[in-house]
Amino acid sequence: MSTPQVVVHRDGDLLAAAAAARLVTRMVDAQAARGHASVVLTGGRTGTAVLEHLNRNAARDAVDWSRVDLFWGDERFLPSGHPDRNETQARAALLDHVPLDPSRVHVMEPSDGKFGDDPEAAAAAYADVLASLARPEDHSDVPTFDVCLLGVGEEGHVASVFPDSPAVHEEERTVVAVRNCPKPPPTRVSLTLSSVRRAQEVWLMTTGEAKAAAVAMALTGAGEVQLPAAGATGQRRTLWLLDTAASSKVPALFTPPLA
Ligand SMILES: O=C(O)[C@H](O)[C@@H](O)[C@H](O)[C@H](O)COP(=O)(O)O
């Protein structure tokens, strides 16, 4: 488990632009080292803004998009193409604009997909996909993602893992269905925290005063059941990318000068 690092940017737009530049570099380095790059995408405004900035980044095509594996940390369980689906928003922001290998874009099934309106079946199927892609050196039923991107909710959720929810208590499964989610829409499919922690690097990216309390709690010792973001750690790196407002309640000890 890696000690959290904090980087603070002046505002949300600069955070998204800087995170996009950081992600391009991380993907290029992963491909140089191992021939491919694997990234877990997140929904939410910040996660989508990062993809939009990445699409506009001059270095975008330094990435060999044909050798990128994309996953989702969670997905809203809605019909394919629904504007609120994380996949829909990611495709508009970036995926439809780069030459990805479609077989390496691992979508969580929609509610009108092969499993119909059965989020448990969709979750189990995604767990099977992850297990099929895990290699012996991963020592897990989940591949070792290079980067897992996460947004953070006001009460500290990441992906669709909410405080004191069945998902945060899950110890066996790698992907779960989430019902009665406090953040609409109510039904989702989500990685569990143990799956998030298989990533080499976990980047928690959030902005605004409303997130400041959750960010401060996560960085000053809250437990993951109460504050799931506290349990979102990477094997090698846990990086909190914040704007000034979201960092405003973090004790000075943890926050470096503005980037
Ligand atoms: O599907 C989702 O809603 C996201 O995966 C969710 O975890 C999101 O990242 C956070 O709620 C933060 O969202 P914002 O970045 O919009 O604040």
pLDDT tens per residue, range 106-148:
999 999 999 999 999 999 999 999 999 999 999 999 999 999 9
Q: Looking at residue 77, what is its pLDDT?
A: 98
Distance, in Å, from the CA atom of 64 to the CA atom of 164, rounded to the nearest integer, reads 40
The torsion angles phi and psi of 233, rounded to 5 degrees, stand at -125, 145
From the list 243, 255, 213, 245, the residue with the least C-alpha distance to 230 is: 213
Put simply, whether the predicted model's pTM sits higher than 0.80 gets the answer yes
Q: Looking at residue 173, what is its pLDDT?
A: 98
pLDDT tens per residue, range 38-75:
999 999 999 999 999 999 999 999 999 999 999 999 99
The residue whose C-alpha atom lies closest to atom 11 belonging to ligand 1 is 153
The torsion angles phi and psi of 21, rounded to 5 degrees, stand at -65, -40
Q: Give the position, in ligand 1's atom list, of the atom nearest the Cα of 206.
A: 15
Burial grade of 154 (CB within 10 A; 0-12, 13-18, 19 or more): middle
Distance, in Å, from the CA atom of 94 to the CA atom of 89, rounded to the nearest integer, reads 9
Is the CA virtual torsion 242, 246, 250, 255 positive or negative?
Answer: positive
pLDDT value at 220 more than 80: yes
Q: Looking at residue 44, what is its pLDDT?
A: 97
| pLDDT band per the 50, 70, 90 thresholds, residue 237 | very high
Task: Examine the predicted complex and report whether its ipTM is higher than 0.90.
Answer: yes
State which of 13, 84, 149, 152 you would mutate to test the pocket of ligand 1, scoring each by most atoms of that ligand within 8 A of its C-beta.
152
Amino acid at 198: R
Ligand 1-lining residues (CB < 6 angstroms)? 42-47, 73-74, 76, 86, 151-153, 157-159, 183
Task: Please report, rounded to a whole number, the percentage of residues in the chain having pLDDT higher than 70.
Answer: 98
CA 154–ligand 1 middle distance (angstroms): 10
Which residues lie below 8 Å from residue 74, measured CB to CB, with a gap of 6+? 42, 43, 86, 108, 159, 160, 161, 178, 188, 189, 190, 191
Span 25-30, average pLDDT: 98
DSSP-assigned letters across all residues of 102-128: GGGB-PPPPTTSTT-S-HHHHHHHHHH
CA 46–ligand 1 middle distance (angstroms): 8
Span 86-107, average pLDDT: 98
pLDDT value at 231 more than 90: yes
Residues facing residue 148 across a β-bridge:
40, 202
Q: Give the position, in ligand 1's atom list, of the atom nearest the Cα of 188.
A: 1
Q: Looking at residue 3, what is its pLDDT?
A: 85
Pairing of strands 74-76, 147-150: unpaired
pLDDT value at 104 more than 90: yes
Distance, in Å, from the CA atom of 95 to the CA atom of 87, rounded to the nearest integer, reads 9
Q: Give the position, in ligand 1's atom list, of the atom nearest the Cα of 151.
A: 9
Span 83-100, average pLDDT: 98
Mean pLDDT across the chain: 97
Q: Give the position, in ligand 1's atom list, of the atom nearest the Cα of 45.
A: 16
From the list 7, 85, 96, the residue with the least C-alpha distance to 52 is: 96
| pLDDT band per the 50, 70, 90 thresholds, residue 254 | confident
CA 150–ligand 1 middle distance (angstroms): 8
